[in-house]
Amino acid sequence: MPELPEVEIVRQSLLKNIKGKKINKVLVRNRNLRFKLETSFEKKLKNKLILNIKRFSKYLIIELENKSFCIVHLGMSGTIHIVENKKNNMLTNTSFYNSPNLPKKHNHVEFFFKNIRLIYNDPRRFGYFQFFDDFNSVKKKFKNLGPEPFNKKFNSKYLINHFKKKNKSIKNFLLDQNFVSGIGNIYASEILYLSKINPSLSAKYLKKYQCKNIVINSRKILHNAIRKGGSTIRDFKNTKGDQGNFQKEFKVYGRDKQNCKRFGCSGTINKITQSNRSTFLCEICQKQ
């Protein structure tokens, strides 16, 4: 599933390609996504000018000219493709598939512009689109989500207050979107490694300096991932078809049984399971 950096890369690509363009037509081939698309979806978006492409957490927010909004969530396998109308071939980015050709089977939604088409492809159909008439409705959708790591509200005081008397592990806290929005499994492992914190440690035992390190390193890891174009593990590519490069800088994720990369550490990376998810950590520098 794309995490915050990957969704941000898609946002930046869309901003370059469709901002200021009018949606001439919307074609829905399959309404049965994670949430069924309303029958009026096409009509509500047709002939609307796109003013901006924003993002919150792992959500894309398309701002339309009449101050209405379309929210896009990519789910586990959803990808957005840009295809030039004049080109007969369908050579584009493919994420879930190991082919340079865009498959037609899972192209569920298409947006038609003057010279290009935006195609939403999703084999598992866990992604979705939602239309909102105003920004207050958008805010209500996100009201129960925690702040992003980049938000000033995400600070050591915020962490300390949430961690009091909580037995929940720090790794599971970082994955809890009601606590902090946008961090997924990959980046949680990298953040805790950089912070020298055992992912299984109960949050209530974290010290103030450790909370501060989590805040600092969350921003550091995510900023670096965005600069590197996100992480390509299996199926992420941006709307230009370019793979991310941050996976080349992983210190722990996917490095089971390999040597720790921290200078002076002789430890080995171990893989454990937490809440049915893989977690990677160094047996020495993340011992406590």
Catalytic residue positions, numbered:
2-3, 58, 277
Contact between 261 and 251 (Cβ < 8 Å): yes
The neighbouring-strand residues paired with 26 are: 111
* Backbone angles phi and psi of 169, in degrees to 5: -70, 155
Contact between 9 and 226 (Cβ < 8 Å): yes
Contact between 20 and 90 (Cβ < 8 Å): no
Element (H, E) at 62: strand 59-64
What is the Cα–Cα distance from 248 to 30, expressed in whole angstroms? 36
| Helices (H), ranges, 112-207 | 135-142, 156-163, 170-175, 185-194
Report the phi/psi class of residue 172: left, alpha or beta, with left for phi > 0 and alpha for psi in -120 to 50: alpha
